Structure formats: structure tokens, C-alpha cells
Amino acid sequence: MATYKTVESSEITLSQLMLPSHSNFSGKIHGGYLLSLMDQIAFASASKFSGSYCVTASVDRVDFLNPIEVGELVTLKASVNYVGNTSMMVGIRVDAQNIQTGIIKHCNSSYFTMIAKDESGATLPVPRLQLTSREQVMRYLKAAERISARKQRIATEPFAGDLAKALAFMASDHADVDIEALSA
């Protein structure tokens, strides 16, 4: 019999004050540092939900919507939005708050696919997901759409691998690219 767990059982919140040591050369918080925090919270959410060690399999699109300043309080919220047999898609939202003004800005949303593993590195089955709200159902369906779109992108090659068609397209629509003599 399958075990079911709620989305709430995977919820994690992490808040951290951004320090000068977290900044890049322009004085904003380094994107790599933020990605590290996102990977940590994805691990925590997936591990909490699955009850096992988890590894990052993929990261869907990451858009840095607003810069984060030194001195702001960054809050990351994560939860499992979708489960497969051994994988979980963890949704992450990143907000930054100016602690002097109280103004909060949305800085990033992303999705990490995490895989449950045992001590020897073999994959483990994960609990089924129990959805209890409209929002959770919509997040689950959106995750399923992203997975389907990713599989279609991976399975297809541009112009079905026809180099002549690809070169013709490049010549007409991408004049900014110089293609050395290739034979089709």
C-alpha cells in the first residue's frame, strides 16, 4: 500500500541576512550564492518529504527578477510540488526584505528536481503526494507540464537532424552567425 504525505510535510522556510561577503563585484548578492541557498533548501524539503538523502537531478529555469542588496533579509520557501517514482519537484520562492523599510520584493522562483537515494547510491521510491488545496493541484499540474515539455525538448533535434534545412534557416534568419563551410 502506497504511503501518502501532504505538501505541508515538505515545507521549509529559510531566512538569512545578506552580508558583504555574499556580494559580487557590483555590490549585489552573488547569484551563485543564492543558487547555493536554493540547492540547500531543495535538499531539505525533498529529504524531509521522502525521509531519505536526496540529490539534485536538474534545475529548471532560474530568472533573477530583482537584485538583492547587502543588508536585506532573504527568505526562501520550498515545498514538494510533484512526485514521480523516485523523484520530487521542489518549488522554491525567494523574497528579499529591506529590514529598514519593511518592503518585500520577489527575487526568484525556481524548480529543482531531487532524487531520493539510499546509503549505497541506489534510487528509492518516494511517498505519493496528497493534494489538499486548489493551489497545490495547480502547482502539481504546472510541474507535470514542465516535465512533459522538458522530455519533448530532449527527445527532439532541431529540424529533425536535417542539416540542409538547419543551414537554410540559419542563413535566412540568423545572419549574425558565421557558419564555416559545412556540407549538408
pLDDT tens digits along 120-134? 999 999 999 999 999
d(CA 125, CA 136): 21
* 12 touches 90 (CB < 8 A): no
Q: How far apart are CA 171 and CA 168, in angstroms?
A: 5
The answer to whether 80 and 45 have CB atoms below 8 angstroms apart is yes
- 160 pLDDT above the threshold of 90: no
Residue 156: its pLDDT value, please? 73
Note the pTM of the prediction, 2 decimals. Answer: 0.84
Does a structural domain hold residue 176? no
170 assigned to some structural domain: no
Asked whether residue 117 is assigned to any structural domain, the reply reads yes
54 within some domain: yes
Whole-number Å distance between alpha carbons of 118 and 83: 17
Band of residue 31 on the pLDDT scale cut at 50, 70, 90: very high
Count up the domains in the chain and report the number: 1
Domain with 44, as residue range(s), is 4-130
**Does 27 score more than 60 pLDDT?**
yes
Share above pLDDT 70 across residues of the chain, in percent, rounded to a whole number: 96
Write the CATH number for 64: 3.10.129.10
What pLDDT, on a 0 to 100 scale, did the predictor assign at position 2? Answer: 84
In a domain, 164, yes or no: no
Q: Which range is least confidently modeled, 70-74, 124-128, 145-149?
A: 145-149
Residue 168 in domain? no
pLDDT surpasses 70 at 95: yes
- Residue 112 pLDDT > 90, yes or no? yes
pLDDT tens string 81-92: 999 999 999 999
Give a yes or no: residue 184 inside a domain.
no
**Is residue 74 assigned to a domain?**
yes
pLDDT at position 181:
59
User: Helix, strand or coil for residue 68?
Assistant: coil
Asked if the model's pLDDT at residue 183 lies above 60, the reply is: no
